[in-house]
């Protein structure tokens, strides 16, 4: 359980990139500042990208909270993780192609937790 908790925290930490770049806290060559979504198809402007950045921050905090919830034996962590992974998947689609790794990780989380919930593994 500690390893799974750690993975949720790390996944949440990775979401911080979606916050710090749009808010221009950090400049990254591999994740350039842009005001567009869906592979540059929709321009949402500077304010819009900051709002989306706040959604990335919320998701980062939520993944970290799920990791902490798992360690503290919170009964609702599986459902919360499924919802957060679903929300994160939407953000990753909007951030395509830069967020493609997160998309695949979220799908793996959803599949793993969906199967584990069905069979009562957690």
pLDDT in tens, 7-51: 999 999 999 999 999 999 999 998 999 999 999 999 999 999 999
CA distances from 10 to 3, 4, 38, 105 (A): 10, 10, 25, 12
User: What is residue 121's predicted lDDT score, i.e. its pLDDT?
Assistant: 84
pTM: 0.93
Query: What length is written for the chain?
Result: 122
What's the gap between Cα 110 and its chain centre?
12
Contact criterion met (CB below 8 Å) for 15 and 60: yes
Model confidence over 57-114: pLDDT tens digits? 999 999 999 999 999 999 999 999 999 999 999 999 999 999 999 999 999 999 999 9
Q: What are phi and psi of 32, to 5 degrees?
A: -70, 150
User: Which single residue is written with the structure tokens 């540059």?
Assistant: 40
């Amino acid at each position: 359980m500690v390893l799974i908790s750690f993975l949720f925290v790390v996944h949440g930490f990775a979401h911080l990139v979606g916050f710090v770049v749009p808010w221009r806290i950090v400049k990254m060559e591999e994740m350039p500042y842009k005001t567009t979504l869906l592979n540059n198809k929709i321009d949402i402007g500077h304010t819009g990208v900051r709002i989306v950045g706040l959604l990335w921050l919320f998701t980062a905090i939520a993944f970290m909270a799920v990791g902490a919830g798992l360690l503290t034996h919170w009964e609702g962590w599986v459902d919360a993780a499924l919802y957060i992974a679903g929300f994160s998947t939407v953000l990753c689609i909007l951030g395509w192609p830069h967020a493609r790794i997160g998309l695949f990780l979220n799908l793996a989380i959803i599949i793993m937790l969906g199967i584990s919930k069905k069979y009562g593994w957690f």
